[in-house]
Amino acid sequence: MQRLKQNRGGFTLIELIIALAIASIVAGAVGTFSLAWQRRTYAVYSEAELQNDLRYALNVITYHMRTAKAIAVTTGSLGMQVTLTLTDGKTVKFGHRQYLNTLWIKDNSLPMCSHIAKLDVVTDELPLVKLQITTVDKLPGIEKGLPLVISKQIRLRNYGR
């Protein structure tokens, strides 16, 4: 009696295990790369958003300072407050709340910028005012490049009028 040859197609168990191991290694590498890319993208986005907030705050403060005829800087235990007297007699206040790390303009308003460690306003050479804003040195997602410091010299155009 002759045995019939059976045509055996398909994969053996060893071949399937090897293919599964290779697929697992590739999936792990792709997942690791994806997480690293996502983390870096978040860090770049967070830093760009922080820089944008700093520029916005600096522009708002500059706008009000340029129209001021007088400036008064007070420092207390809660932070710094700057009072600008405008040419029409109205006042605009802005400042830094240390315990919240925020910059605010107008009392009882929402902060215009967060994550601020320090606000420096130097009025030694009026009508020229030096303004410097420094961010905190640690933020979630941003591992390097902090603190950011942005500064500007502003001339009070109506000083003493």
Close Cβ partners of 55 (under 8 Å, ≥ 6 residues apart): 150
Residue 22 one-letter amino acid: I
Cα dihedral: 87, 90, 95, 99 (round 10): 170
Q: Which residue has the tokens 């129209």?
A: 67
- Report how far residue 144's alpha carbon sits from residue 43's, in angstroms, rounded to the nearest whole number: 9
- Report how far residue 91's alpha carbon sits from residue 96's, in angstroms, rounded to the nearest whole number: 17
Domain boundaries, the chain: 13-155
In this predicted structure, what is the pLDDT of residue 52? 94
The region that residue 99 occupies, defined by phi over 0 for left and psi between -120 and 50 for alpha, beta otherwise, is alpha
In this predicted structure, what is the pLDDT of residue 142? 81
| pLDDT tens track for 44-78 | 898 899 999 999 999 999 999 999 999 999 998 88
Sign of CA dihedral 30, 36, 40, 42: positive
In this predicted structure, what is the pLDDT of residue 7? 64
Task: With a cut of 70, list the residues of the chain below it in pLDDT.
Answer: 1-8
In this predicted structure, what is the pLDDT of residue 4? 62
In this predicted structure, what is the pLDDT of residue 3? 67
Inter-residue contact 98 to 79 (CB < 8 Å): yes
Q: Which residue has the tokens 């340029």?
A: 66
